[in-house]
Amino acid sequence: MVARVIPVEAFDLVIFGGTGDLARRKILPGLFRRFQAGQMPPEARIIGAARAEHSDDEFRALVADAVAEFMPKAAQDKEALAAFLQRLSYVAIDAKGTQGWSQLKETMRSDVVQAYYFSVAPALFGDIALRLTDNGIAGPDARIVVEKPFGRDLASARALNETLAKHFTESQIYRIDHYLGKETVQNLMAVRFANILFEPLWKSEYIDHVQITVAETVGVNGRGAYYDKSGTMRDMVQNHLMQLLCLIAMEPPYHFDPDAVRDEKLKVIRALDPVQPQDIVRGQYLGGGGEGSYLEDSENPHSRTESYIALKVAISNWRWKGTPFYLRTGKRLRARASEIAVTFREPPHSIFDDAEGWRENVLVIRLQPDEGMHLMVMIKEPGPGGMRLTQVPLDMSFATALGPEAAEVPDAYERLIMDVIRGNQTLFMRGDEVEAAWAWTDPIIEGWEARGDRPQPYDAGTSGPEDALMLMHRDGRRWREIK
Ligand code: NAP
């Protein structure tokens, strides 16, 4: 099955920080892929903006290098790449000064969609928003895209929301959480709300628990100084894991409409119980095998910042009372794997003698690698020998079900940028959602800071600290293997 590509309207997309790491690794290669897919109309233009002086051609050369580095196969399509590069131009601009703004104003067209991607440090968001409006550059329907981190606590997130709100309305602000752009995450909504099969069972009566895992093999080297001020709770749990939890736990929205979906997610965040200290495990990786420890990578020998978190979360509402959600995420773990596993309860009564062969039904939603889903079900073990039970996966991996082309799903950034151009905010976080997530996160962080808790060391290449295993074992459950 070949994916349908619906072209978007003509646009001018300005990437502030167009020469930075995120633009080079994700945004610009992603735009090239959409161009190759035929989604960009001939009038679409992309304008890089940063302080350094570059000619248009120098910027194009920089983008060509980025495409070659991060999408080597696509870059071999030289004709397409040359045509794409013609859509690009560059403006040298200082977010904090006067340089470049009048040139940007002359460059922008008023009769196409205007989008401004703030791929710069959050400290510059307010300056850019101010200059875009004060200089009369951004039109009334202009969209701005802001990157994470959106604040480091409730107070700073609220301040950032207030700053942006001085210049743009909520319907113009697109707060990116790239996890929401992943194909499988959206599929989760399709599976839940486009089928009758799951929703009647989607509650604590039938679901024993939910596990959400985001495991990385890399450490923090290269960005250790930044990470050390943040830590896993702020960098991963407050945003990405929280969003995944919301999509699993939310009520069906009345329509697949941005505010209807976000209203339901907000209700979930507000229903989260405070987390007790005994329900959180924080870890910090040790060195070994030629790799540095967290303390070395962060260049802070006394750091108490965590590179791993496991926690048990309870949602106080009718649907979920009694079904814990276990979340874990960390760096330098055994494998790079992200998945959500929904584990169902035992049938009320077993008619089979083979109690040992029985396993719970589990719906596994895999985000990476191998995006897809599978449902673990019990069947009779084939062949003679009586009624012995065995578990098999009902596989819904995209490659098998829809053909290899469908497995080449667009990167999350590609999809999200096209959603900005379409003016669809469904997969972006609303200001109140972000604030509610911080309001839940803040007391957890304040708690361990007040107690002076140290994260537990764990060996690199493992599944994390011992106590994280205990977090599940004491409830008579176990984590799924990270692989
Ligand atoms: P980066 O590599 O440091 O790039 C920063 C960019 O901003 C450069 O193009 C820089 O160019 C420009 N810049 C800096 N000061 C400026 C100013 N005063 N006016 C105009 N442009 C300015 O940063 P990054 O890693 O791409 O990150 C960008 C944003 O994305 C940050 O908010 C970060 O938290 C977020 N983010 C990044 C990643 C990632 O993987 N990199 C992932 C998630 C979120 P000049 O120095 O020439 O001005």
Q: What share of the chain is helix, strand, coil (3-state, %, to 5)?
A: 40, 20, 40
Residue 2 predicted with pLDDT over 80: no
Tell me the average pLDDT of the chain.
93
Total number of residues shown for the chain: 483
Residue holding tokens 């997969």?
A: 427
Residue holding tokens 């339901």?
A: 264
Residue 185 predicted with pLDDT over 90: no
**CA distances in angstroms from 163 to 128, 144, 300, 388, listed in the order given:** 11, 13, 33, 64
Q: 288 pLDDT band (50/70/90 cuts)?
A: confident
CA distance 53 to 103: 13
Q: Tokens for 158? A: 């609220």
Q: Where in the chain is the domain with CATH 3.30.360.10?
A: 180-403+431-473
Q: Hey, whose CA ends up nearest to atom 37 of ligand 1? A: 22
CA distance 468 to 335: 17
Q: Which pLDDT score, from 0 to 100, does residue 357 have?
A: 80
CA 148 to ligand 1: nearest atom: 44
Report which of residues 74 and 184 the model is more confident about.
184
Q: Which pLDDT score, from 0 to 100, does residue 277 have?
A: 95
Residue 183 predicted with pLDDT over 60: yes
Find the DSSP H helices in 135-281: 154-165, 183-193, 224-230, 232, 242-249, 258-270
Q: Where in the chain is the domain with CATH 3.40.50.720?
A: 11-147
- Report the range of poorest mean pLDDT among 378-382, 440-444, 477-481: 378-382
Q: Which pLDDT score, from 0 to 100, does residue 378 have?
A: 92
Q: Which pLDDT score, from 0 to 100, does residue 329 have?
A: 98
Mean pLDDT of 224-246: 96
**Which residues participate in catalysis according to the annotation?**
240
Question: Across the strands, what pairs with 393?
Answer: 376
Residue holding tokens 């200089």?
A: 135
Mean pLDDT of 198-226: 95
Q: 184 pLDDT band (50/70/90 cuts)?
A: confident
180-403+431-473 belongs to CATH 3.60.20.30: no
Could you please state the CATH topology (level 3) that the domain comprising 11-147 is classified under.
Rossmann fold (3.40.50)
Mean pLDDT of 119-134: 96
pTM of the model: 0.94
Residue 395 predicted with pLDDT over 90: no
Around Cβ 302, how many Cβ atoms within 10 Å? 7
pLDDT in tens, 309-345: 999 999 999 999 999 999 999 999 999 999 999 999 9
- Ligand 1 pocket test, candidate residues 27, 51, 124, 411, most atoms within 8 A of CB: 51
Q: Which pLDDT score, from 0 to 100, does residue 1 have?
A: 53
Q: Ligand 1 centre and the CA of 339: distance in Å?
A: 29
Q: Hey, whose CA ends up nearest to atom 1 of ligand 1? A: 20
Residues with CB under 6 Å of ligand 1 are 16-17, 19-23, 50-52, 93-96, 119-122, 124, 147-149
Q: 399 pLDDT band (50/70/90 cuts)?
A: low
Report which of residues 356 and 194 the model is more confident about.
194
Q: Which pLDDT score, from 0 to 100, does residue 408 have?
A: 60
Q: Ligand 1 centre and the CA of 121: distance in Å?
A: 5
Question: Across the strands, what pairs with 363?
Answer: 342, 375
Q: Ligand 1 centre and the CA of 120: distance in Å?
A: 4
